[in-house]
Structure 1
Amino acid sequence: MPETTELSRPIAAAPGAPQSRAVFSRATALPLIFGVVAALPLAVAAQPGEGVRDTAFLLQLVVACYAGARLCAMVLAGQRRLIQGAFWLFCYLAMGVAPLAQSVLGREPTPVVGPRSDTVLATALVLLGMVAFDVGAMLARNRPALRGRKRAPARVDRWRLWLLVGFSLAASGVFVVQLGGPAVFFSSREEILLGLEEVTGGQVDQETGEAGNALLRGFGTVPVLLALLLLTRWLVTSRSARRSPSVLAAWTVVAAVNVIVNNPVSNPRYWFLTVLFSLLFTVFPRSPVMYRASLALGVIVALLIFPFADRYRYADDAANQTGSGSLLEPLAVKDYDQVGMFANHITFVDDGHHTYGGQLLGSVLFFVPRTLWEEKPVDSGVLVGEWMGTNNTNLSSPLWAELWLDFGPLGMTAGLLAVGYGAARADRRYVSRTLHDPSPGNVFAVVVPLIAGYSFILLRGSLLQATGRIVIVALCLALVTTFRDRPERRLW
């Protein structure tokens, strides 16, 4: 029998059972809803600025309010909806409040080269995509549970987990040694990029692009993160593991290596959010307070801390010093250029550049060398950036823009509907699996928090940048997962 601890007690009933009462009382919920849905967007809209209060501005205000309402619904929900919660947190901040602030200031973090009508269309399509996501989630929630032959659950094999731990430590060790030692990882992201170029003879960006760069760093950062999550899951759900010197020693070493290779100084902030979210929901797999606090406080952290957390991107901190003539100034940074870049993607397509699924194909087949595929697509943000003529082509390409670029308006709507359906199904299964299977080897209990954290990167784009780490995660999970029940190889 798997051990049951305080951390493994359910917070919600299984699908179809009566829902548990929301943690927030009415006295707490009403101020939250008012603040997120109305007060913050209206306060941003009322700030002085040079922006024009036109149709794009009004649509952006609607987007912020709609995303805020859905985020509050996730916070107050009776069940944990990790992936959906991450989606609405991203939408509220990156597609709602931040673009609204930019519209008020009349300042775009990335130049928008097309007419204002393209920005209006982009904002309207963002709203359409959100509605499509909601429809897909609603269809998934109303879908009855499948009945039939039960399949063996996916579990972590203990011997294979030790193999992953050894491989992850070796891969991260090679990564650290090649870049010159641990000190480099506490200097700046610029030093990491220079180290990667040195290791590869200065050919990372020219030959393999952002996907190749992510792949090179991926084996040094992803396996050791997944090893940490699996060991953490083992410790928080098993008293025997907490009494085992070997498990405690392995966790300590893996955690120390993660501090080196996955710290916020040497990594993009969106990747560090992945690390933070996945670890948080693995340490507290059934805590309703932690789930709701993560979403509610995520808004505050993203608005007050996230814009200033890039000071270690360059070795010279002065390179990031900017004036702050307005309270909205921190939101007019390139990290929040998603709506503007979506408008540029629309202008790009209107200019006659149709990809017809080529960008998605390039992301799926990212591993094919360019020597074998000369016309292999480049990163979507780079593609549009080069067409725009910008010096810095490391630009975002949000999921809305990726789908529009490849499949047009119908494909974008259908794609986000499918994403909403898949997210709701995964969240529903996560609650069910963690409720009925509190064992340490429950793979799903680790995979869903990791997907929820990584969704920030997938939603921001581009897909080509995100693909490398996804494949590495899949390979690591394939290594440790088994569907055969061997008592002698279970996590105890």
Structure 2
Amino acid sequence: MCCWFLLLVAMLPTLILYTPEARFGATLAMQCVVVAHAGTALTRVLTDTSVRLVALGFWVFAYVWLGLAPLAMLATDTYPLEYRTGDSTAFAAAALTELGLLAYSGGTALATRSATRRSLVLEPLLSRRLTPWPVLLLCGLSLVLAVIVLPQQEGGLQAFFTSRQALRQSGAEAEDPVRALQVWAVAVPAFWALVALVHLPRRPAGDRLLRGVRWMLLPALLALNVIVNNPISRPRFWAGTVLLVLLFSWRRFSSPRAFRIAAAALTIGVLFVFPYSDYFRYDEREVVEVLSLTEQFSTAMDYDAFQQMQTGIDYVKDNGFSPSAALGPVLFMVPRAIWPDKPQTTGIAFAEYAGYDFHNLSAPLWIETYLWGGGPCVVAAFCLLGLAGRRMDDLRERMRGGHSTLAALLVPAVAFYQLVLLRGSLMAIVGPLLLLLVVPLFITTRPVARSSPSRSPARPPARAGHAPIPGHRRHS
């Protein structure tokens, strides 16, 4: 714990601040508070004696995208985008970030205090188990959708192995929402079909037919996922989610020790490898140039979150709050022809306000909720997020012995796709997020309640306090 604390809270921020052009002031001091808060919380997750996947995803994003990256921007007065704000707006953005982190920590503490209470929604949901025939049906449906949808893309399958630019030009990205949704409708079911097929429980008596069908479908689904979920043509956050769910749902990574090792590798990878993982974004690839952390954080478009928050605060000053914007993600499927006043995607609205010609920008959840109604909305949203995240982590830990439960599969997916949710915009990602959450419900069923056997009079009653916890193994 001491080593992680020194690295995350002392060494890395000091390396960023140790620049000749560092500008110290109230804003930079507030940002140091954010870095210390996020770094301390991430240290606790990386050294915890339990597996906390949802907390890992949240604090990695908070520490890197809204902690170190803004620290580098404020210290050097260098930003990846052209729009500039005053010191008061920058201070407000840093304070808004810390407000969200405090609310999230408060929600986590509230969930910890009420850990003994039964969750009426999450516990029955996450205790659902995979069932063979719905899983096989999803596998078949994924392959049929692939045969129908993929040949319609301009450039064919080759576009999926060229670059994100080539796939965008084929109409499968955000410029054509219909085709983009078609590709997601293949990618998400294909991902869940592969994960479910790998984790489908074997029947005690054996089933040759099921085993044979499984081995027939597995190569086809692997090939399909290589096509539609590869890191060359798909967004890095989504491709990373696919790979990390396959990794962290593996039973070898269900122990706290294995989790700590994998989480440490993930954190280091996000810090030092992620900035160079966009090599395949464009057709014409430039030579990879290794930059310092300060240069990378203050110049790369991947870290526009803090600057977009500043833009959003100025946007609210000029236009006021927009409570109706909260309806956009909820009613995202309603076409604009029916709803002419449908809210604009927040990242696009901020880009137009700042005068940018390009609109593919983020809108972190902090500024999204602030746009809806100010600080109270931020506090409410992040408190609920912390409460739900801690409950999910606790339930997955309690059900650790069941590798075919929804907890073992859905919690890692939510934990790592959470980075996309936090980065925003909500309206841009709510479609894939809905697919990610809904598809597993159709391939799982509620566990059969087992009637407790009558206790034999010859056996003494179990002593209080020594009953095994469900989902945990007893060790001799």
User: Which TM class, normalised by the smaller chain length?
Assistant: 0.7 to 0.9
1:308 paired residue among 269, 276, 280 = 276
Structure 2 matches for 1:209-248, cutoff 5 A? Answer: 214-234=180-200, 244-248=211-215
Q: Is the 8 A contact 1:111 1:340 kept in 2?
A: no
Q: Displacement of 1:453 after TM fit? A: 1.2
TM-score by length of 2: 0.86
Q: Displacement of 1:183 after TM fit? A: 2.2
**Amino acid paired to 1:264:** P
Whether 2:111 is the aligned partner of 1:111: answer no
Whether 2:90 is the aligned partner of 1:123: answer no
Q: Displacement of 1:236 after TM fit? A: 9.8
Whether 2:45 is the aligned partner of 1:74: answer yes
After superposition, what is the alpha-carbon deviation per residue over 1:119-149, rounded to whole angstroms, capped at 9, x for unaligned?
Answer: 1111011012111101100100110423699
Whether 2:438 is the aligned partner of 1:475: answer yes
Question: In structure 1, what is the equivalent of residue 377 of structure 2?
Answer: 411
**Amino acid paired to 2:283:** A
Q: Displacement of 1:35 after TM fit? A: 1.1
Question: In structure 1, what is the equivalent of residue 302 of structure 2?
Answer: 335
CA distance in 2, matches of 1:384, 1:39: 34
Cα gap change, 1:101 to 1:235, in 2 (>3 Å): farther
Whether 2:171 is the aligned partner of 1:196: answer yes
Q: Is the 8 A contact 2:171 2:180 kept in 1?
A: no
Question: In structure 2, what is the equivalent of residue 163 of structure 1?
Answer: 137
Question: In structure 2, what is the equivalent of residue 17 of structure 1?
Answer: none
CA distance in 2, matches of 1:73, 1:31: 12
**Amino acid paired to 1:164:** L
Question: In structure 2, what is the equivalent of residue 455 of structure 1?
Answer: 418
CA distance in 1, matches of 2:281, 2:72: 24
After superposition, what is the alpha-carbon deviation per residue over 1:462-482, rounded to whole angstroms, capped at 9, x for unaligned?
Answer: 111111012222331232122
Whether 2:15 is the aligned partner of 1:43: answer yes
CA distance in 1, matches of 2:93, 2:321: 17
Cα gap change, 1:76 to 1:113, in 2 (>3 Å): same
After superposition, what is the alpha-carbon deviation per residue over 1:407-428, rounded to whole angstroms, capped at 9, x for unaligned?
Answer: 2111111111111011011111
Structure 2 matches for 1:318-357, cutoff 5 A? Answer: 318=286, 326-332=292-298, 333-356=300-323
Structure 2 matches for 1:246-257, cutoff 5 A? Answer: 246-257=213-224
CA distance in 1, matches of 2:161, 2:140: 24
Question: In structure 2, what is the equivalent of residue 16 of structure 1?
Answer: none
1:84 paired residue among 55, 78, 96 = 55
Stretches of structure 1 lacking an aligned partner (at least 5 in a row): 1-28, 488-492
CA distance in 2, matches of 1:241, 1:111: 62
Stretches of structure 2 lacking an aligned partner (at least 5 in a row): 451-476
Question: In structure 1, what is the equivalent of residue 5 of structure 2?
Answer: 33
CA distance in 2, matches of 1:227, 1:350: 47
Q: Displacement of 1:456 after TM fit? A: 0.6
Q: Displacement of 1:439 after TM fit? A: 5.2
After superposition, what is the alpha-carbon deviation per residue over 1:355-377, rounded to whole angstroms, capped at 9, x for unaligned?
Answer: 11x22211111111111011111
- SS for the counterpart of 2:175 is helix
Cα gap change, 1:73 to 1:148, in 2 (>3 Å): closer
1:390 paired residue among 356, 364, 367 = 356
Q: Which stretch shifts more, 295-304 or 322-331? A: 322-331
**Amino acid paired to 2:129:** R
CA distance in 2, matches of 1:254, 1:395: 33
Q: Is the 8 A contact 1:381 1:462 kept in 2?
A: yes
CA distance in 2, matches of 1:177, 1:283: 33
CA distance in 1, matches of 2:88, 2:60: 27
CA-based RMSD = 2.7
CA distance in 2, matches of 1:424, 1:135: 11
Question: In structure 1, what is the equivalent of residue 462 of structure 2?
Answer: none
Q: Which is greater in Rg?
A: 2
Q: Is the 8 A contact 2:315 2:350 kept in 1?
A: yes
Cα gap change, 1:486 to 1:148, in 2 (>3 Å): closer
Q: Is the 8 A contact 2:26 2:91 kept in 1?
A: yes
After superposition, what is the alpha-carbon deviation per residue over 1:341-388, rounded to whole angstroms, capped at 9, x for unaligned?
Answer: 1111111000124211x2221111111111101111121000111111
- SS for the counterpart of 1:434 is coil
Q: Which stretch shifts more, 323-332 or 119-128? A: 323-332
Q: Which stretch shifts more, 100-109 or 449-458? A: 100-109
Q: Give the count of matched residue pairs.
A: 443
Percentage identity across paired residues of the two chains: 30
Question: In structure 1, what is the equivalent of residue 457 of structure 2?
Answer: none
Question: In structure 2, what is the equivalent of residue 490 of structure 1?
Answer: none
- SS for the counterpart of 2:374 is helix
CA distance in 1, matches of 2:207, 2:69: 44
**Amino acid paired to 1:155:** R
Q: Which stretch shifts more, 150-159 or 248-257? A: 150-159
Question: In structure 1, what is the equivalent of residue 231 of structure 2?
Answer: 264
Q: Is the 8 A contact 1:379 1:464 kept in 2?
A: yes
Q: Is the 8 A contact 2:28 2:71 kept in 1?
A: yes
